[in-house]
Amino acid sequence: MYNILVCDDDRAIVDALEIYLKQEGYEVYKCHDGLEAVKTAFEKDIHLIILDIMMPGLDGFFTTVRVREKKNIPIILLSAKSEDTDKITGLNFGADDYVTKPFNHLELLARVKSQLRRYTQLGSMEQKNGVLKTAGLEIDDELKEVRVDGELVRLTPIEYRIVKLLMENMGRVFSINEIYERVWNEPSFSVENTVAVHIRRIREKLEINPKEPKYVKVVWGIGYKIEKY
């Protein structure tokens, strides 16, 4: 059974989501502000968070930042705004997905299942593909760890899957659409910003100088690759 944390200052939305999620067999933890959500995420065995952006006090963006200090569980942000800037901001702060209010609950449940499926696959110890390494960058898919010069790097599930894809195919250039389809397991449509944001966050974590990356290279007009040294 998966434990899902739902946080929104609109109690009616939280109660409705609780009903939908419990019908799917999920255990639901309810919160109504960011600080309470952070506390619950750290104290309970939470597998996914559905989090509203516009909350008093600690908003959804900074709640995501706080959770990311210790947890790499999937985070889906909810917002009444549909602007791309909000979506990109949410991804920059560490979220894995973004849903605009008002939302179709069936679509939200589909996104929840998709994120949990990826998270479960990421945490599975059944696949033992060994260690891949290029220069100081190393990925151990058995332990689900990425290290740079021996130092553990904390990646979100989506970031890990992107790095794993590129590391398993070092030297090969993947288009933005290819990356999205392989990592998100969904058809790609207007996904340039989504992939670019995740690549930028990966570079910030892996590279000494993200503006002059050593590992994650862009091939202009084509896509991205990880160099083999």
Q: Is residue 162 located within the same domain as residue 214?
A: yes
Q: Is residue 67 located within the same domain as residue 151?
A: no
Range of the domain at 99: 3-123
Q: In what order do the strands lie in the sheet with 97-100?
A: 27-31, 3-7, 48-52, 75-79, 97-100
Domain boundary among 67, 102, 123: 123
Confidence band (pLDDT; 50, 70, 90) for 229? confident
Q: What's the mean pLDDT in 134-155?
A: 89
Q: Is residue 118 located within the same domain as residue 167?
A: no
- The pLDDT score that the predictor gives to residue 128 is 40
Q: What's the mean pLDDT in 127-150?
A: 81
Q: Is residue 102 located within the same domain as residue 144?
A: no
Q: What's the mean pLDDT in 118-124?
A: 61
Q: Is residue 42 located within the same domain as residue 67?
A: yes
Token duo for residue 88: 């990109």
Closest to 60 measured CA to CA, from 28, 27, 29, 97: 97
Domain count, the chain: 2
Residue 190 has pLDDT above 80, yes or no: no
Domain boundary among 88, 104, 123: 123
CATH code assigned at 116? 3.40.50.2300
Q: Which residue has the higher pLDDT, 202 or 127?
A: 202
Counting residues of the chain whose pLDDT is more than 70, the rounded percentage is 93
Residue 198's contacts (CB-CB under 8 Å, 6 or more residues apart) are 91, 158, 159, 162
Q: Is residue 136 located within the same domain as residue 157?
A: yes
pLDDT in tens, 78-87: 988 766 677 7
Q: Is residue 137 located within the same domain as residue 112?
A: no
Q: Is residue 11 located within the same domain as residue 79?
A: yes
Alpha helices for the chain (secondary structure H): 11-23, 34-43, 60-68, 84-92, 105-123, 157-168, 176-184, 192-206
Confidence band (pLDDT; 50, 70, 90) for 125? very low
CATH code assigned at 222? 1.10.10.10
Buried b (16+ CB within 10 A) or exposed e, 143-172: ebebbbeeeebebbbbbbbbbbbbbeebee
Q: Is residue 173 located within the same domain as residue 193?
A: yes
Q: What's the mean pLDDT in 113-135?
A: 68
* Identity of the amino acid at 15: D
Q: Which residue has the higher pLDDT, 29 or 150?
A: 29
Confidence band (pLDDT; 50, 70, 90) for 188? confident
How far is CA 183 from each of CA 3, 45, 159, rounded to the nearest angstrom?
23, 25, 9
- The pLDDT score that the predictor gives to residue 126 is 36
Q: Is residue 106 located within the same domain as residue 140?
A: no
58-16-77-3 Cα dihedral, nearest 10 degrees: 90
Q: Is residue 21 located within the same domain as residue 107?
A: yes
Q: What is the mean pLDDT of the chain?
A: 88
The answer to whether the Cα torsion of 46, 52, 58, 64 is positive or negative is: positive
Confidence band (pLDDT; 50, 70, 90) for 124? very low
pLDDT in tens, 170-184: 989 999 999 999 999
Domain boundary among 76, 100, 123: 123
Closest to 222 measured CA to CA, from 149, 153, 172: 172
Q: Residue length, the chain? A: 229
Q: Which residue has the higher pLDDT, 155 or 91?
A: 155
